[in-house]
Amino acid sequence: MALIAPSILSANFLKLSNDIHMINESQADWFHLDVMDGRFVPNISFGFPVIAAIKKEARKTLDVHLMIEEPGKYAEEFRNAGADILSVHIEACPHLHRNLQQIKSLGMQAGVAINPHTPVQHMFDVLHDIDVVCMMSVNPGFGGQKFIAHTIEKIKTLKAEIVRRGLSTLIEIDGGVTLENASSIIAAGADVLVAGNTVFSTSDPSDTIAKLKAM
């Protein structure tokens, strides 16, 4: 049974309170919040004021996925806005170890997000410092894209390394997760499923979360 992290990117921003309440009452485990800067990815989403507002109503872990350049500049502000887990992209961090230490020293759990083209082996030397690997199974920037099949192999490779070293690092899969592919993603070794379109495009999002949870 995986942890489920609905992505707010696909929520109704005009009635965000309703969707936050729905997630609070559902079997979801985390809120997944996608921050985009229009530079690291070709899209802009939301930032501090929206996260701080969500924090006031959310009763579950805030999992903040930064798709931004120079994330270290803003880590403290994201902590102040309410982030519990802060993920930075390995492709945006030439000094990744320093970023991880900074995030932990601010009292958050440290996540590393990784693009589809980046080998998972690139994070092995800091794996023991990573609480959550946010493995992208689409190219980051947009919700509602198709799952990239090769991700399954990457999950297996990463899981084998985590098990071999006896680490507690969680593998989170982000992008294109559906009711059809969720079980094979979990079977490959995923611990956390992000779901945006799959949850919010259905008439009963809470029931869809329950179905994902039961996989």
Smallest separation, CB 121 to ligand DX5 (Å): 22
Reply yes or no on whether 19 is catalytic: no
Active-site pick, 29, 131, 174, 191: 174
Q: How far apart are CA 4 and CA 24, in angstroms?
A: 12
Q: How far apart are CA 17 and CA 214, in angstroms?
A: 26
Contact segment (CB under 6 A) with ligand DX5 among 18-26, 50-58, 78-86, 138-146 equals: 138-146
Smallest separation, CB 212 to ligand DX5 (Å): 11
Beta bridge mates, 134: 113, 172
Q: Which residues bind Zn ion (CB under 5 A)?
A: 34, 65, 174
Reply yes or no on whether 34 is catalytic: yes
- Which of 64, 130, 138, 209 is the binder for ligand DX5 (CB under 6 A)? 138
**29 vs 174 by CB, closer to Zn ion:** 174
**101 vs 109 by CB, closer to ligand DX5:** 109
Structure tokens at 156: 């297996």
| Three-class SS of the chain | CCEEEEEHHHCCHHHHHHHHHHHHHCCCCEEEEEEEECCCCCCECCCHHHHHHHHHHCCCEEEEEEECCCHHHCHHHHHHHCCCEEEEEHHHCCCHHHHHHHHHHCCCEEEEEECCCCCHHHHHHHHHHCCEEEEECCCCCCCCCCCCCCHHHHHHHHHHHHHHCCCCCEEEEECCCCCCCHHHHHHHCCCEEEECHHHHCCCCHHHHHHHHHCC
Structure tokens at 173: 């899969």
**8 vs 130 by CB, closer to ligand DX5:** 8
- Which of 3, 4, 9, 103 is the binder for ligand DX5 (CB under 6 A)? 9
Contact segment (CB under 6 A) with ligand DX5 among 13-21, 117-125, 134-142, 183-191 equals: 134-142
Task: Give the footprint of ligand DX5 on residues 50-89 (CB under 6 A).
Answer: 65
Smallest separation, CB 140 to ligand DX5 (Å): 4
- Which of 61, 145, 157, 202 is the binder for ligand DX5 (CB under 6 A)? 145
Q: Which residue has the tokens 């403290």?
A: 76
Would you count residue 11 as binding ligand DX5 (CB under 6 A)?
Answer: no
Active-site pick, 29, 34, 131, 191: 34
Task: Give the footprint of ligand DX5 on residues 156-215 (CB under 6 A).
Answer: 174-177, 194-198
Catalytic residue IDs: 34, 174
